[in-house]
Structure 1
Amino acid sequence: MKNCTVLIVDDEENMRTLMEMYLLNSGYHCLQAPDGVQAISLLEKHEVDLILLDIMMPGDNGFMVCEKIHQKWDLPVIFVSAKGAEWDKVKGLKLGADDFVVKPFHPGELVARVEAVLRRSGKKQQTENETISLGKIKMNLKSRTAAIEGNTVNLTLKEYELLIYLITNKKQALSREQLLTHVWGVSYEGSLRTVDTHIKTLRMKLKSADYIQTVWGIGYKIEEEYEA
């Protein structure tokens, strides 16, 4: 089910080996790079689904490498660094990182963060199917677009990710906390009303294909039959 490749970028060989061991045990493929130059080189030669990126490295630091990566590739990035100050986290997220893990970390935490980011980005589903359907809705995981009865629906990135998560967890009552964590990330500090606001706009855009149900006291769920 995994079949995803993670690029580990860290100047400490022991740390790269440790992270690779955790990920291999969880079914991921891994590539390693000790700096930004080699990371870019590997990205040009291999298909990568997610990047684990250190900050303090020789040459370009992780922030600079992240900027260069996003200039050429649309890939999820998780910073993994001993620099755990709030300023570092904020800067990383502003540069487009999907999450921030502070060293030292528990193996389970690292794998869980990778799982969550891949789930939000749709990479895990892409390895199995390029499209998923629910009633009148068809989601293309490769182009990250949505259509209702063949007509494209203009969704924001978060609306798209929210709808994907609801569809792939159909018939399950998902709490606002779950939705906030899986769509916005564990480092997001906004309120639960963020979920309600996005659900409201999503429902307006789905119109006749609005299969989202409110589960009072919990959150939301989708009940329509799901086809992959």
Structure 2
Amino acid sequence: MKRKMLLVDDDILMREFITDYFHKENWEVHEAENGAIALQIFAQTPVDLVILDIMMPELDGWSTCREIRLKSNVPIIIITARTEDNDQLLGFELGADEYVTKPLSPRVLVARAAALIKRTESAPHRQGNMFVQGNLSVNKLSHTVSVAGSMVNLSPKEYDLLLFLINHYGRVLPREYILDSVWGYDYLGDLRTVDTHIKKLRAKLGEEGRYIGTVIRSGYKFDVEP
């Protein structure tokens, strides 16, 4: 069965360039020249992946990413010529899963798309208020965490941090975003607070702490292959 992808870029040559490589890998590609058209297509056509440029007329990539995330957890790869760290952080905060800068290699883009789809499909087992991955189990009702059947004693903030990471499974979460979301916007501490709690959380989870990955210059993510 063909994978379906929505490619959003106002550069027609770039769209043709990328589409050609995805066609060779048996992908079905739907194209849009701006965010407004992309949202129309997205509402009508189920897709497995969105590849999204940032600088576009009518509706830019930031706004398009935000609107898609309100409706769906479909994997999103942002492609852009902008390389500033703040732009990448914003993309991740809006829910993008990958960030690829131009000029890009279409072969690498196809490979990263395939890897992203694989991670999405291998997402851990969820049943009601239970989360299970490997030997790690989290009961969201009782706020309890166990590893290989043994209870793990987490502080309330450590539990909140773990649950936040799990609820954003597979996504890169900037330290600033974690700090604001878990500790609150009025918290007076600095980013080292996040690093310290991550270190303690990994230690308490033991071998299962491997699921909490560090993304250099970006932040952290919870994933089967961090």
TM-score by structure 1 length? 0.58
Q: Deviations over 1:76-105 (max 9, x none)?
A: 211111112222112111211111111111
2:39 maps to which residue?
Answer: 40
Q: Which runs of 5+ in 1 are unaligned?
A: 127-131, 133-138, 163-182, 204-210, 215-221, 223-228
Give 1:117-136 correspondences, 5 Å limit: 117-120=116-119, 122=120, 124=121
| CA distance in 2: counterparts of 1:213 and 1:55, whole angstroms | 34
2:16 maps to which residue?
Answer: 17
| Aligned partners of 2:76 and 2:97 also within 8 Å | yes
| Aligned partners of 1:50 and 1:76 also within 8 Å | yes
SS of alignment partner, residue 30 of structure 2: strand
SS of alignment partner, residue 21 of structure 2: helix
| Structure 1 residue 57: Cα displacement | 0.5
| Aligned partners of 1:8 and 1:32 also within 8 Å | yes
1:66 maps to which residue?
Answer: 65
| Structure 1 residue 156: Cα displacement | 3.6
Distance 1:115 1:196, change over 3 A: farther
Question: What's the RMSD between the two structures over aligned residues?
Answer: 3.9
Distance 1:68 1:198, change over 3 A: same
Q: Deviations over 1:86-127 (max 9, x none)?
A: 22112111211111111111122211221232223x2x459x
| Aligned partners of 2:6 and 2:31 also within 8 Å | yes
TM-score by structure 2 length? 0.59
2:97 maps to which residue?
Answer: 98
Distance 1:197 1:111, change over 3 A: farther
Give 1:60-209 correspondences, 5 Å limit: 60-120=59-119, 122=120, 124=121, 139=125, 146=131, 153-154=139-140, 156=163, 158-159=165-166, 183=170
SS of alignment partner, residue 11 of structure 1: coil
Q: Percent same amino acid among aligned pairs?
A: 26
| Structure 1 residue 195: Cα displacement | 8.6
| CA distance in 1: counterparts of 2:12 and 2:129, whole angstroms | 35
| Structure 1 residue 146: Cα displacement | 3.8
Q: Which runs of 5+ in 2 are unaligned?
A: 141-161, 176-194, 211-223
| Aligned partners of 2:129 and 2:139 also within 8 Å | no
Residue identity in the other structure for 1:48: V
Q: Deviations over 1:40-77 (max 9, x none)?
A: 11111111111100011111111111111112222221
| Aligned partners of 1:10 and 1:16 also within 8 Å | yes
SS of alignment partner, residue 119 of structure 1: helix
